[in-house]
Structure 1
Amino acid sequence: MKRQLPRIGELTELMQFKKPELDGRKRRLDAALTIGDLRAIAKRRTPAAAFDYTDGAADGELSLHRARQAFEDVELHPDILRPAAHVDTSTTVLGGPSALPFGIAPTGFTRLMQTEGETAGASAAGAAGIPFTLSTLGTTTIEDVTAANPTGRNWFQLYVMRQRELSYGLVERAAAAGYDTLMFTVDTPIAGARLRDKRNGFSIPPQLSVKTIANAIPRPWWWFDFLTTPKLEFASFSTTGGTVGELLNAAMDPTISYDDLDVIRGMWPGKLVVKGVQNVADAVRLIDGGVDGIVLSNHGGRQLDRAPVPFHLLPQVVREVGKDATVMVDTGIMHGSDIVASIALGAKFTLIGRAYLYGLMAGGRQGVDRTIAILRGEIERTMTLLGVSSLEELEPRHVTQLTRLTPLGGAPAAAERTAR
């Protein structure tokens, strides 16, 4: 090949310098290409106790690990020569629209992760056209969430507590504030063994100690935000003090039953969903009993470790309750393809928890916007590569759940291991 001296004009064409981004928050969020990237930013910027409360699970954290592994063990089957130039990610769930097949799950003590808390989550969800769910243990009031998301869809997650009047009062307030769905949560009669919290000495509110001060030194912005913003307000508790487990155990009632579900059903004028379903029999009983939907969930692995993997349960539950029933799923979702696979196997909708909180910790409201944008892009790309233009075109044939854990006997298998 004949060589020549570089030409100045050609060098000029190659020398393209990107304009520097002076906004540090925007710069770090723009560099985040995955939910894992947002998690890494969140870990750098958040004190260990608050980050581990979000990131951790119960006991050995096997339920969380298995839930994420289940999504990684998915094989997707694309169709070729099927144009999908324009992808429609919108859906209808529980009588209303959602621009994407996921909403924001209820998370407790959210302003401890980052001071904008539920306000950031609700306003970002409203802007994206997806539902936002406020937890009973949220740190923003029912009414303030409505103010942050006045025209969007707000859902309320309910714990039935020892003091039933507290729970009933929350139901009435949520109805008065225009929430359209109540998410009755049944998997928290007591707190799970969240060992990271115990090892970190994590309490509500955070207590200053030698350990926490040392951990705070490289993260002064978090403490500045925490100490210069309004005192935490809980949706249900007027006082705080103690570990998360102690607060939960003092408030929750291990005697809740179907009678409590009937009472709440009689009070609530909107859609009623039961969250925390972990076997087929309970799913069938609830759907046959007339609830508007169920969420297959093991509480993000934060309650009973070694609980069934919700994504593994999904095909069998859908087969038993019927494809028209509103079956939703959460736990372990970290990529848009996880959501696509869930919809293909029959879920009507999905919920994200940690993925949302990683974005919140990484950059407040802008970080939540970034979480939603990342998942939206991954959903659209996955659907295009599969050759489907709408969520309705997704079918079980698009997904194989690869086998990793196989029951050997004893109790009936909690999950259908393959979708084909």
Structure 2
Amino acid sequence: MAHKRLPRFALEYLEGGAEDEAALLGERRAFADWRFLPRTLVDVSGRTLATSILGQSAAMPLVASPTGLNGILHAHGDCLLAQASQQADIPFVQSTMSNDTMEEVARAAPGVRHWWQLYVFGGDEIWQELLRRAERAGCEALVLTTNAQIFGDREWQRRNQIGNARLSASAALESLTHPLWFAENPLSLGLPKFANIIDFVPKDQRSFFAASNWVRAHQPTSLSWDTVAKIRQRWNKPFILKGILCPDDVRRALDSGADGIVLSSHGGRQLDWTVAPLDLLPVAREIVGEKIALYMSGGVRRGTDLLKACALGADAVWVGRALLYGLCAAGAAGAARALAIIKAEALDAMGLLGANRIEELGPHLLAHAGRVA
């Protein structure tokens, strides 16, 4: 449904990775390499996915991952994703590059577990103001993305744009062949704005493409663990580092004051040929023990993926694209449907695996392909 509705440039934004897209493909292959060792004759009549995320109950070990530019996928996409997350009883992480303000999201989904994802750009006063607003908006946690200070090489984007200013003629014309998307988005609302950060952008750079490029150009390559310390000092609620993919960084995160980390390649859109987050999970769990929360994102499409990640050590998975397909297809109802599909698949798979609770999952229920014990 999403493929039918979206124009090519928006669909490639949703699905594309960096360069050869090896990291993107590797994330799916990593799940394929792990096989279940199902137990039979187990009473599985009491199955539940209920768990705790950052000390609060959640219906399943899943977090709606931060995704930017949702406004090109569906009008007010951020608010709709928050509503779907609230309905599913899971946390929703809103991106700095979202198109609805954090205040609008808070009003649209009152009671949702609202987390704020931070990109550092410009001067310190910008992230400090965003933290103040997140606090006032009732955001429960802060998520610092650590691996996006240099923009990944995304060839599909160059195909669809003329420089950094506008869509190519072919991409613009092709978008007209999707009348429902065109009527609901650019025709009625114009191109979306980066509503949370637009006031920090020079007035002559506030168009859709220009603002995106301005922020990208002002993300400091000097981001370091010293920056993490400064942000940790300013934020008194749960603090999570997203984008960790190296065991040494996992160790450093333990000393940074972070409450959790997310193993993530940024959806395969940054450095290509990185290790799949799933493959790093057992090593990361051994390092952190139970000291901080351990999450992973990348390649999660089904309920069985969720179970594999939890069995290998994840406290929860973060899901982006799977929810966005639902959003593109049918707004909040579509995103809620995507979450319901993942949940139903996971519950059925737990029964077939011989487990009743998330706590029962572990590496003893998995075998790596070709090495069945």
Structure 2 CA distance for partners of 1:231 and 1:241, relative to 1, 3 Å: closer
* Offset at residue 206 of structure 1 (A): 6.1
Shift of 1:72: 1.6
Match of 2:279 among 312, 321, 331: 312
What CA distance in whole angstroms lies between the structure 2 residues aligned with 1:45 and 1:116? Answer: 16
How big is the shift at 1:274? 0.4
Which residue of structure 2 aligns with residue 142 of structure 1?
A: 102
**Contact (CA 8 Å) 2:301, 2:322: kept in 1 or not?**
yes
Q: Does 1:236 align with 2:197?
A: yes
1:393 to 348, 360, 371: 360
Q: Which amino acid aligns with 2:53?
A: V
The equivalent residue for 2:175 is 216
1:411 is matched with none
d(CA) in 1 for partners of 2:226 and 2:89?
A: 35
- How is 1:285-364 mapped onto 2 (pairs within 5 angstroms)? 285-364=252-331
Q: 1:162-212: per-residue Cα shift (whole Å, max 9, x none)?
A: 2221111111110111111100110011110111111111899964x6413
Choose the corresponding residue for 2:221, options 251, 254, 263. Answer: 254
Offset at residue 240 of structure 1 (A) = 3.2
Tell me the alpha carbon deviations over residues 237-259 of structure 1, each in whole angstroms, 9 at most, x when there is no partner: 34234379734531311111111
Conserved in 1, the CA contact under 8 Å of 2:164 and 2:213? no
Residue 21 of structure 1 corresponds to which residue in structure 2?
Answer: none
Instruction: Tell me how far 1:397 sits from its aligned partner.
Output: 0.6
Aligned residue number for residue 202 of structure 2: none
- The residue aligned with 2:135 is 175
Determine whether 1:370 maps to 2:357: no
Q: In the alignment, what sits opposite 1:276?
A: 243
Counterparts of 1:264 and 1:154, CA distance in 2: 19
5+ unaligned residues in a row in structure 1: which ranges? 1-40, 404-417
**C-alpha separation in 1, matches of 2:372 and 2:26:** 18
Structure 2 residue aligned with 1:415: none
Check conservation: 2:86, 2:112, Cα contact below 8 A.
yes
Query: Taking every aligned residue pair, what percent have the same amino acid on both sides?
Result: 33
* Contact 2:191/2:208, CA 8 A, preserved across alignment: no
Q: Which residue does the alignment assign to 2:63? A: 103
Could you say what secondary structure the match of 1:356 adopts? helix
Any stretches of 5+ residues in structure 2 without a counterpart?
200-205
Q: Secondary structure at the match of 1:81?
A: coil
For residues 233 and 216 of structure 1, the distance between their equivalents in structure 2, rounded to whole angstroms, comes to: 19
Q: 2 CA distance for matches of 1:277 and 1:42?
A: 30
Bigger mean CA offset, 393-402 vs 334-343 = 393-402
Q: For residues 366 and 339 of structure 1, what CA distance do their matches in structure 2 show?
A: 21
Residue in structure 2 matched with residue 189 of structure 1 by the alignment = 149
Shift in CA distance, 52/184, structure 1 to aligned 2, threshold 3 Å: same
Q: Equivalent residue for 1:43?
A: 3
Q: Distance in 2 between matches of 1:109 and 1:116?
A: 10
Shift of 1:116: 3.0
Pair 1:64–1:248, CA change in 2 (3 A): farther
Give CA-to-partner distance per residue, 1:128-184, whole Å, 9 cap, x none. 100000001111101111112211201110111122211111111101111111001
Which residue identity lines up with residue 225 of structure 1 in the other structure? Answer: E
Could you tell me whether the CA contact under 8 Å between 2:79 and 2:108 is conserved in 1?
A: yes
Partner AA of 1:118 in structure 2: D
What amino acid does structure 2 have at the position aligned with 1:382? A
Aligned 8 A contact 1:107 1:134 in 2 = yes
- Asked whether 1:153 is paired with 2:96, we answer no
Task: Give, as a single letter, the amino acid of the residue that structure 2 aligns with 1:192.
Answer: G
Q: Give 1:268 deviation, angstroms.
A: 0.8
What is the deviation of 1:229?
2.9
1:70 aligns with 2:30: yes
Give the total of aligned pairs.
365
The answer to whether the 8 Å contact 1:192/1:245 transfers is no
Question: Which letter does structure 2 place at the counterpart of 1:46?
Answer: L
The 1:259–1:335 alpha-carbon spacing in structure 2 relative to 1, beyond 3 Å, is: same
Cα RMSD, aligned residues only: 2.0
SS in 2 for 1:242: helix
1:217 Cα offset (Å): 3.7
AA aligned to 2:175 is: A
Query: 2:161 — aligned with what?
Result: 201
Equivalent position to 2:92, from 124, 128, 132 = 132
SS at match of 2:68: coil
Matched, 1:225 2:225: no
Q: Distance in 1 between matches of 2:263 and 2:11?
A: 25
Three-state SS of the structure 1 residue aligned to 2:122 is coil
